[in-house]
Chain A
Amino acid sequence: KAGVTQTPRYLIKTRGQQVTLSCSPISGHRSVSWYQQTPGQGLQFLFEYFSETQRNKGNFPGRFSGRQFSNSRSEMNVSTLELGDSALYLCASRAGQSSYEQYFGPGTRLTVT
């Protein structure tokens, strides 16, 4: 099986712009979670989608949003980018809500200038 894929892998944006990141889970996996990783804050949970519904949300401002499509692919959007949004954004998929093992994608490295 192919692993979790994320596009793009690298992105440079300017403050105030918005960005959309994409994640394709492992085939058959219905749960997709998003995480932000920074040197200062570490790995922080953003949100989780299962069957096109947001199931859990972390402590991030409303500028961070996401969605999941019927094929389980997920997108994450960040509006009005700030310098502090520079980070590695990782998505992880699970087979289902009763599955605990998360498979992470390679991440999207976002740099905000």
Chain B
Amino acid sequence: GQQVMQIPQYQHVQEGEDFTTYCNSSTTLSNIQWYKQRPGGHPVFLIQLVKSGEVKKQKRLTFQFGEAKKNSSLHITATQTTDVGTYFCAADTGTASKLTFGTGTRLQVTL
């Protein structure tokens, strides 16, 4: 079955440092979504990427979809303590509801 791996599993940064998580799929994707889950919370939708090579920005967050539509990344510039949580990519192979979630990257930000 489809596998979606994320690296790193965990990252601890000082506030103000940058952070990047990478998502890799074993198969070509129709699109990819990103979610954030705060500790004790539930996943919250961040964005969807559809086009090959697509780059989207949301304030300090930059999302990128690979040219081959098999990988994606999320980059946070100048992290803040509010960025703490686990970031998941979710792969869609053509059935929007049957998402395959990545393993997640847990981000810890300290002052």
Contacts and interface: CB of A to CB of B under 8 A. Distances in A.
Q: Is the interface of A mostly helix, strand, loop or mixed?
A: strand
Contacts of A92: 43
A56 B98 contact: yes
Interface string A41-79: 011110010100001101100000000000000000000
B43 A45 contact: no
Candidate in A42, A50, A98, A99 with the most chain B CB atoms within 10 angstroms: A42
Contacts of B88: 43
Contacts of B95: 56
B31 interface: yes
Contacts of B90: 43
Contacts of B101: 35, 42-45
B104 A102 contact: no
Interface residues of B, number: 22
Interface residues of A, number: 27
Contact of B103 (A35, A42, A103): A42
A25 interface: no
A42 B104 contact: yes
B18 to A, nearest CB: 25
29 contacts: A35-B101, A42-B101, A42-B102, A43-B88, A43-B90, A43-B101, A43-B104, A45-B98, A45-B101, A48-B97, A55-B97, A56-B97, A58-B98, A59-B1, A90-B42, A90-B43, A92-B43, A94-B97, A97-B96, A97-B97, A98-B96, A99-B96, A100-B31, A100-B92, A102-B43, A102-B99, A104-B42, A104-B43, A106-B42
